[in-house]
Amino acid sequence: MISVLGMVLALSSLTGCGNTAYEIPYEADSQISSYNVIFREKPGVADSFASDLCVVSTEVTGDEAVDMSQAGAAVLLDVNNSEVLYAKNAHSRMYPASLTKIMTALVALKYGTTDQVLTATSAVNITESGAQLCGLKVGDTMTLNQALHVLLINSANDAAMLIADNIGGSVEAFVQMMNDEAKALGATNTNFANPHGLTDENHYTTAYDLYLIFNEAIQYDFIQEIIHMTEYQTTYYDKNGAEKKLSVKSTNRFFRGDFTAPDQVTVIGGKTGTTNAAGHCLMLLSRDVSAAPYISIILRSTSSDVLYGEMIDLLDEIHK
Measured in degrees and rounded to the nearest 5, phi and psi for residue 300 equal: 55, 50
Q: What is the mean pLDDT of residues 245-274?
A: 97
Domain extents in the chain: 73-319
- Give the pairing of strands 279-287 and 231-237: unpaired
Q: Is the pLDDT of residue 195 over 70?
A: yes
Is pTM beyond 0.85? Reply is no
Q: pLDDT digits over 152-165, tens only?
A: 999 999 999 999 99
Least confident window among 20-34, 98-112, 184-198, 266-280: 20-34
Structure confidence at residue 31 as a pLDDT band (50, 70, 90)? very low
Q: Is the pLDDT of residue 166 over 90?
A: yes
Q: Is the pLDDT of residue 22 over 60?
A: no
Question: What is the Cα–Cα distance from 217 to 225, expressed in whole angstroms?
Answer: 12
Q: Is the pLDDT of residue 301 over 50?
A: yes
End-to-end CA distance of the chain: 72
What per-residue confidence (pLDDT) applies to 50? 54
Is 51 an annotated catalytic residue? no
Q: What is the mean pLDDT of residues 92-121?
A: 98
- Choosing from 88, 101, 271, 286, which is the catalytic residue? 101
Q: What is the mean pLDDT of residues 232-246?
A: 98
Q: Is the pLDDT of residue 170 over 50?
A: yes
- Choosing from 42, 57, 98, 250, which is the catalytic residue? 98
What per-residue confidence (pLDDT) applies to 148? 98
Q: Which fold has domain 73-319?
A: Beta-lactamase (3.40.710)
What per-residue confidence (pLDDT) applies to 53? 85
Neighbour tally for 293: CB within 10 Å: 16
Calculate Rg over the CA atoms of the chain. Answer: 25
Any bridge partners for residue 107, and if so which? none
Per DSSP (E only), the strands in 129-265 are: 141-143, 231-237, 243-249
| Orientation angle between helical segments 100-111 and 144-154, nearest 10 degrees | 170
What per-residue confidence (pLDDT) applies to 51? 58
Longest Cα–Cα distance in the chain:
87
What per-residue confidence (pLDDT) applies to 132? 96
Greater confidence (38 vs 297) lies with 297
What per-residue confidence (pLDDT) applies to 40? 38
What per-residue confidence (pLDDT) applies to 68? 94
What per-residue confidence (pLDDT) applies to 319? 80
Cβ pair 22, 13 in contact under 8 A: yes
Share of the chain above pLDDT 90, in %: 78
Neighbour tally for 215: CB within 10 Å: 18
122 secondary structure, DSSP code: G
Which residues, in sequence order, are CB contacts of 7 under 8 Å at separation 6+?
A: none
Is 250 an annotated catalytic residue? no
Question: What is the Cα–Cα distance from 169 to 171, expressed in whole angstroms?
Answer: 7
Tell me what the pLDDT averaged over the chain comes to: 87
Q: pLDDT digits over 53-99, tens only?
A: 878 877 787 666 788 999 999 999 999 999 999 999 999 999 999 99
Rounded to whole angstroms, what are the CA distances from 143 to 113, 120, 148, 195, 229? Answer: 9, 11, 9, 18, 18
Cβ pair 264, 280 in contact under 8 A: no
Question: What is the Cα–Cα distance from 7 to 210, expressed in whole angstroms?
Answer: 55
**What does the angle CA 290 – CA 294 – CA 297 come to, to the nearest 5 degrees?**
155
Question: What is the Cα–Cα distance from 104 to 117, expressed in whole angstroms?
Answer: 17
Rounded to whole angstroms, what are the CA distances from 213 to 2, 67, 68, 110, 256? Answer: 58, 25, 23, 13, 25
Is 301 an annotated catalytic residue? no
Q: What is the mean pLDDT of residues 269-291?
A: 97
DSSP secondary structure of 75-107: EEEETTTTEEEEEESTT--B--GGGHHHHHHHH
| Orientation angle between helical segments 144-154 and 157-168, nearest 10 degrees | 140
Q: What is the mean pLDDT of residues 199-207?
A: 98
Q: Is the pLDDT of residue 300 over 70?
A: yes
